[in-house]
Amino acid sequence: MGDQATTETYASSAGTVRWGAVGAGDPVVLLHGTPFSSYVWRDVAAALAPRHRVYFWDMPGYGTSEMRAGQDVSLAAQGRVFTELLAHWGLESPSVVAHDFGGAVALRAHLLHGASYARLALVSPVAMAPWGSPFFRLVGEHAEVFERLPPALHRALVAEYVRSASAPGLLPPVLDRLVEPWTGAEGQAAFYRQIQQADQAYTDEVQDLYPGIDLPVLLAWGEQDAWIPPERTRALAALIPGLATHPIEGAGHLVQLDAPAQLTAALVPFLQG
């Protein structure tokens, strides 16, 4: 499909957000993870559009949205921004589909800021301790050093990191699209900023609240996820009452790119209730 376009803007408390929407029907909002953007949802968004009004957005500091020095791109900030966006869109209780870091954003918005959802699908979410790969922690501890890498070395590092999120591998044009926002002086600084501000305390703050979630929840993950071990995702499943699970064989962490048809096949009946 053609790429969905983030043609609209919203001035959030953490910077200008670019967003878009396709389709018609009951609303569904898609949240990306890190270090990604709404681009990862392009196939799933197209598949859901015949039945739903599908909203997608790039979080502040990601993709096409504003990147600037001193910007707060933490989980705390993103949870607030998502709550602001729902109000801006006039969505009182949409369905939400959230991947990776976006899962924590959706959970924080719901549990701490009162955001209401009809249904919540979590796809390989960052949601419980411990999280962060050795590489992620190394960069977070030495961000000021990595920020000074020559541009070519930086791009190679980001490309290898992103590539490792896929089990079958990413096509070169797709990999280029995922890496491109993190290039140039602004993008390079933004890449290390979002890692430096990552803090497990933001999920620790809500993890004990998961048993109180009272809405339909679907938890999907790739069985070949090298970023978040499947056993950790299964541990999350035990914390949320009545949750439905959907493991996907052959997919890595980027489930929506590795296995879009299988993920969509799980999402369609779930979103339709």
225-256 pLDDT, tens digit per residue, is 999 999 999 999 999 999 999 999 999 999 99
Q: Identify the sign of the CA torsion 266, 246, 2, 29.
A: positive
Per-residue confidence (pLDDT) for residue 137, from 0 to 100: 77
Q: How confident is the model at residue 140 (pLDDT cuts 50, 70, 90)?
A: confident
Q: What tokens does 135 get?
A: 């590489």
Looking at residues 192-201, what average pLDDT do you find? Answer: 90
Global model pTM greater than 0.85:
yes
User: Quick check: 153 pLDDT over 80?
Assistant: yes
Phi, psi dihedral angles at 115 (to 5 degrees):
-65, 135
State how far the Cα of 132 lies from the Cα of 201, in Å rounded to an integer: 12
Per-residue confidence (pLDDT) for residue 209, from 0 to 100: 96
Decide: 242 and 235 in contact? Cβ < 8 Å: no
Q: To the nearest whole percent, how much of the chain has pLDDT over 90?
A: 88
Decide: 60 and 185 in contact? Cβ < 8 Å: no
State how far the Cα of 152 lies from the Cα of 131, in Å rounded to an integer: 28
Summarised one tens digit per residue, pLDDT across range 21-42 is 999 999 999 999 999 999 999 9
Summarised one tens digit per residue, pLDDT across range 65-115 is 999 999 999 999 999 999 999 999 999 999 999 999 999 999 999 999 999
DSSP states of 161-172: HHHTT-SS---H
State how far the Cα of 250 lies from the Cα of 257, in Å rounded to an integer: 11
Could you tell me which residues come within 8 angstroms of residue 187 by beta carbon, excluding any fewer than 6 positions away? Answer: 67, 180, 181
Could you tell me which residues come within 8 angstroms of residue 70 by beta carbon, excluding any fewer than 6 positions away? Answer: none
